[in-house]
Chain A
Amino acid sequence: MNELSGYFRRKQFSRLMLVLCGIATAVVILVLIFILGYTLVNGISYLSLDFITQPSKPVGEVGGGMRDDIYGTFILVGLASIIALPVGLMAGIFLAEFAGPKAASAIRFAADILAGVPSIIVGVFAYAILVRPMHTYSALSAGVALAIIMIPVVARTAEESLRLVPNSQREAALALGISRWRITLGVIVPGAVTGIVTGIMLAVARIAGETAPLIFTALGSAFGVQGLAEPIGALPLQIYRYALSPYSDWQQQAWAAAFLLIILVLGINISVRLVSSRRQK
């Protein structure tokens, strides 16, 4: 009798804990909904065509848009991609196709550690090697900082997708007497292209929202986009500045900019996942 009631109590306890696990999941999803909901509601109310097509106005004047910062974000992401893609892809190819086990694990380790370096430290690094010697904040230094964040992500996802290409394809191409580099570029990489592009898009989504490395590299610009050796604005940077400003108009603009940034970043994430899950089926 006593044992039975003990079992009953254990059973009740088990049920309670399992319900708590469900509640934990619900809490996490609720937090996501709260963040998205507030951003959408606060952002949409300020959003207009002017916000996207007008340059920002000086302190004290109400209105103005974020044209230059949106443009700046695209330039920085493009610049970072131009630098990061060759390095990341080639490193991925090395890891998947050419490296011996020891070299592969060393390089892979370095990539994972590099991916774990806080982005603000990457920003300080870009400041030290580019901003200081050039005596100016610049789009270039920000692009380099974002590229460094992007490289390990691209390398590791490229490696993983290349590994999924069946060995029979490599053997079939080798049997035809084609050289390895042409097999790699002509057979293996095209076979893994969905995975590689997925990785690149996710990396792009990640760096598009990065702010910390831009503060002392891109700096922000009141004069629009001028050139790669000049300071440049960016959407996340402007959200940070405006959010901490005392002007309610700017705070409103920060929400609107956050709305745009979330559409961009989650848009990329969701579409990439839809495509890759369809491929899997």
Chain B
Amino acid sequence: MTVKSNTASTVWARVGDKIFSRLTLFFSVLMAAILIALLIALGIDAWPAIQKFGLSFITSIEWDPVNEVFGALPAIYGTLLSSLIGLIIAVPISLGSAIFLSELAPDWMRRPCSFLIEMLAAIPSVIIGLWGLYVMVPFIRNPIEIWLGSNLGFLPLFSGPPFGVGFLSAGIILAIMVIPIITAISREAIVAVPVTQREAMLALGATRWEMITRAVLPYCRSGLMGGVILGLGRALGETMAVTMVIGNGYVLSPSLFSPGATIASKVASEFNEASGDLYIGSLIELALVLFAITLLVNIIARLLVWRTVSVRGTGE
């Protein structure tokens, strides 16, 4: 009797195992399928615009809802420009903080400082935008833009009237938002560098800074690159804070003071008012372009970060 019931329960257990593992597989595949569904759904809804404008969508600078002519170039330009400004500001500051937190700070400072920087990453983007619009933008306009304009105004970069809102403000806001990401990943990469690297360099008579720049940073450069590119991925798609401070122009201006738009800000600020398949389709095609760019950037970042992690794994 007992033997019989035992075998019955083993059979049940096996069936249960099978069902359960299939179920977990199903949900995993479902998660992965969302990515493909995203691509298909956006493709279908963007189709009217793709069909109508073809490649000229990417190269045209017009955005005219009344005559239904749409081009993405100023938005693509704005996305790349604001992210570039963001990275130019964020990378040195993040690397500096990462070096400080991993190499220099006394033990009692490390945890609280890292914690505070993580908190910066946790603040919702709409609140950073609110702060940016009412606190930072007035300060950017006067004194920063007015000073730059009167002293370096001969450069196209700093020409034009100082609005406050514009590419420069958007770039600074993006820097604030990606610094925590780049700092965290760089810190991990630096901490993973073996102590022997540092000791060898110091034994050669290097100063601490030389040790850091010649032995530590080169050793973990792919991790650092991964962090920067992951930050770039975040900056490209960041929406709310940028929408609030970029000023919603639609121009190809070399001036950093000029109000502009990013792909994300264009979609966020116009989607609700859009009517007609072509207008909505164009906005969705914009989203599709952004999706393609961030997909590429994130894949590169992932591969770079994973490589350092696996190097670290074999090293230990």
Q: Cβ of A122: which chain B residues have Cβ within 8 Å of it?
A: 38
Q: Cβ of B192: which chain A residues have Cβ within 8 Å of it?
A: none
Please report the C-alpha to C-alpha distance between residue A10 and residue B292 in the assembled complex, in whole angstroms. Answer: 46
Q: Cβ of A184: which chain B residues have Cβ within 8 Å of it?
A: 20
Task: Find out whether the CB atom of A32 lies under 8 angstroms from the CB atom of B117.
Answer: yes
Q: Cβ of B176: which chain A residues have Cβ within 8 Å of it?
A: 31
Known: A22-B100, A124-B284. A112 touches B302 (CB 8 A): yes
Q: Cβ of A91: which chain B residues have Cβ within 8 Å of it?
A: 24, 27-28, 30-31
Q: Cβ of A110: which chain B residues have Cβ within 8 Å of it?
A: 31-32, 35
Q: Cβ of B130: which chain A residues have Cβ within 8 Å of it?
A: 39, 239, 243, 254-255, 258
Known: A25-B113, A212-B240. A118 touches B127 (CB 8 A): no
Size category, B interface? 35 or more
Closest CB in chain A relative to B172 CB, distance in Å: 10
Task: Find out whether the CB atom of B271 lies under 8 angstroms from the CB atom of A28.
Answer: no
Q: Cβ of A11: which chain B residues have Cβ within 8 Å of it?
A: 207
Please report the C-alpha to C-alpha distance between residue A107 and residue B128 in the assembled complex, in whole angstroms. Answer: 33
Please report the C-alpha to C-alpha distance between residue A251 and residue B287 in the assembled complex, in whole angstroms. Answer: 29
Q: Which of B113-129 contact A (CB under 8 A)?
A: 113, 115-120, 122-129
Q: Cβ of B23: which chain A residues have Cβ within 8 Å of it?
A: 90
Q: Which of A124, A148, A243 contacts B244 (CB 8 A)?
A: A243
Task: Find out whether the CB atom of A181 lies under 8 angstroms from the CB atom of B27.
Answer: no
Q: Which of A25-40 contact B (CB under 8 A)?
A: 25, 27-29, 31-32, 34-36, 38-39
Q: Which of A17, A38, A120 contacts B264 (CB 8 A)?
A: A120
Q: Which of A184-243 contact B (CB under 8 A)?
A: 184, 205-206, 208-212, 215-216, 219, 236, 239-240, 243
Known: A120-B267, A251-B134. A21 touches B99 (CB 8 A): yes
Number of interface residues of A (CB under 8 A): 93
Task: Find out whether the CB atom of A124 lies under 8 angstroms from the CB atom of B294.
Answer: no
Chain B binder among A45-53, A74-82, A93-101: A93-101
Closest CB in chain B relative to A197 CB, distance in Å: 17
Which chain A residue lies CB-closest to B305? A112
Q: Which of B263-277 contact A (CB under 8 A)?
A: 264, 267-268, 271-272
Chain A binder among B48-56, B230-238, B252-260: B230-238
Closest CB in chain B relative to A77 CB, distance in Å: 13
Closest CB in chain B relative to A14 CB, distance in Å: 4
Please tell me if A106 contacts chain B, counting CB pairs below 8 Å.
yes
Please report the C-alpha to C-alpha distance between residue A23 and residue B105 in the assembled complex, in whole angstroms. Answer: 12
12 contacts between A and B (CB under 8 A): A11-B207, A21-B97, A24-B94, A29-B113, A35-B127, A90-B24, A128-B45, A179-B13, A211-B125, A219-B272, A236-B126, A258-B127
